[in-house]
Structure 1
Amino acid sequence: MAETSLSLADLGPRICILGPSNSGKSTLADAIGRKAGLQVVHLDQLHHMPGTHWMPRPTEEFHALHDGAIMQDHWVIEGNYSSCMPSRFARASGVILLDVSTVRSLGRYLRRTWFERGRIGGLENAGERVTWEMIRYIAFSSSGKRRNYAALVERLMLPCVFASSSAAIHRLYTAWSLERR
């Protein structure tokens, strides 16, 4: 999949952002939401109970929250959660796929847990901490999932932007005049 030069407007009013853990999905969604006036939905916040250390909601409750969010007319949703992808893609008008390296994802994970407080897309009143479970997930699941997401997006009949590195993501911010918080 080659990187594209679509404008932000080309992606329409309902944008999905996919990518490996700690690739910058939440920050990009926030910047796009502010720029384009779209409601920002962080799937981690829907999937997990607020005020907990990432305790998942019951599946039916998460799916109901997800389905309610995608029924809105204008949104940017960041996160993967493959069980909900078919319904999300059916409503989406465009997709952004971030594909940073596993090493970059691990570095971002360590930085955000050690140095950032109140990160965009995090759970309210839930502290971040480094866990071996998350390190293993990023280190050993990311490469396979990255290939699967790329293949999935290739089959979609939607406008798609592919950013294959941190530099490519930075170019999106510049091209679309986006600002990070």
Structure 2
Amino acid sequence: MTLDDLGPRICIMGPSNSGKSTLAVAIARARGLPPVHLDQLHHHPNTEWLPRPHAAFVALHDHAITDARWVMDGNYSRCLPQRLARATGVILLESPTTTRLMRYFRRSWFERARHGALDGGSDRVTWAMIRHIVVTTPGSRKRDATLCKQIGLPKLTLSTSRDLAHFYRAEGLER
């Protein structure tokens, strides 16, 4: 499966800190697709990740998916059915917990500008996010893998950091 097989509207799904936003931007640059970061639609800018009211987020989400071309990163399963109805392909990232935890620490402590960051917000280490990565996500990963198998679209699963690195090289993507 190549990037071209996924078409002009690509959903990138996976657990927190698996590289969804970075991959979305790399694909956007290479294929001329606008990147849409669902975390930015879900949260108010210039806050410490304060969520918008659900109806406001859904309105922004549903407007974004009407475009003819996009690469969209994020899960937000309550909006997934309408997103998949418009998507032409799906990429599922499945990074190990330790890798995602290290990425979380790195981006919180060392990266000031990162893809998918909230305008005016900051990333900081919190117990809630550590718990989410270590405790909550393993169950979500199983659910996402099962869901991905049921999706009738072209799809690609990248299960390890090595798989992801190979995909970047094979598709000529730059981080």
2:88 partner amino acid: S
Once residues 42 and 167 of structure 1 are traced to their aligned partners in structure 2, the CA distance between those partners, rounded to angstroms, is 24
TM-score scaled to structure 1, two decimals? 0.96
**1:113-132 to 2 correspondence within 5 Å?**
113-132=108-127
CA-CA distance at 1:128 after TM superposition: 1.2
What is the CA–CA distance in structure 2 between the aligned matches of 1:31 and 1:154, rounded to whole Å? 25
Report the equivalent of 1:3.
none
Query: Is residue 2:22 matched to residue 1:44?
Result: no
Report the 3-state secondary structure (helix = DSSP H, G, I; strand = E; otherwise coil) of the residue aligned with 1:161.
strand
Match of 2:166 among 171, 174, 177: 171
Could you list the runs of 5+ residues in structure 1 that have no partner in the other structure?
Answer: 1-5
Partners of 1:127 and 1:151 lie apart in 2 by 33
Query: Which secondary structure state, in structure 2, belongs to the residue aligned with residue 117 of structure 1?
Result: coil
- Choose which of 4, 7, 30 in structure 2 pairs with 1:12: 7
Percent sequence identity is 55
RMSD (Å) for aligned C-alpha atoms: 0.5
How far has the Cα of 1:125 moved from its partner? 1.3
The answer to whether the aligner puts 1:142 opposite 2:137 as a matched pair is yes
Establish whether residue 26 from structure 1 lines up as the match of residue 21 from structure 2.
Answer: yes
Aligned mates of 1:72, 1:116 — CA distance in 2: 31
- Name the CA distance, whole Å, in 2 between partners of 1:119 and 1:179: 14
The C-alpha deviation readout for 1:96-149, integer Å capped at 9, x for no partner, is: 000001111111000000000021100011111100000001110111101100
| Amino acid paired to 2:135 | F
For the residue of structure 1 that corresponds to 2:12, the secondary structure is strand
Give, in whole Å, the separation in 2 of the partners of 1:156 and 1:127.
Answer: 34
Cα distance in 2 for partners of 1:143, 1:43 equals 21
| Code of the aligned partner of 2:126 | T
**One-letter code aligned to 2:113:** G
The CA distance in 2 between the partners of 1:149 and 1:161, in whole Å, is: 13
Report the Cα distance in structure 2 between the residues aligned to 1:103 and 1:7, rounded to whole angstroms: 28
CA distance in 1 between counterparts of 2:159 and 2:123 reads: 27
Aligned residues: 175
What CA distance in whole angstroms lies between the structure 2 residues aligned with 1:51 and 1:149? Answer: 30
SS in 2 for 1:16: strand
CA-to-aligned-CA distance 1:4-35 (integer Å, 9 cap, x gap): xx111100000000000000000000000010
The answer to whether the aligner puts 1:59 opposite 2:54 as a matched pair is yes
Runs of 4+ in 1 over 6 A off after TM superposition: none
| C-alpha distance after superposition, 1:22-53 (max 9, x if no partner) | 00000000000010010100000000000000
Which structure 2 segments of 5+ residues have no match? none
TM-score (normalizing by structure 2) = 0.99
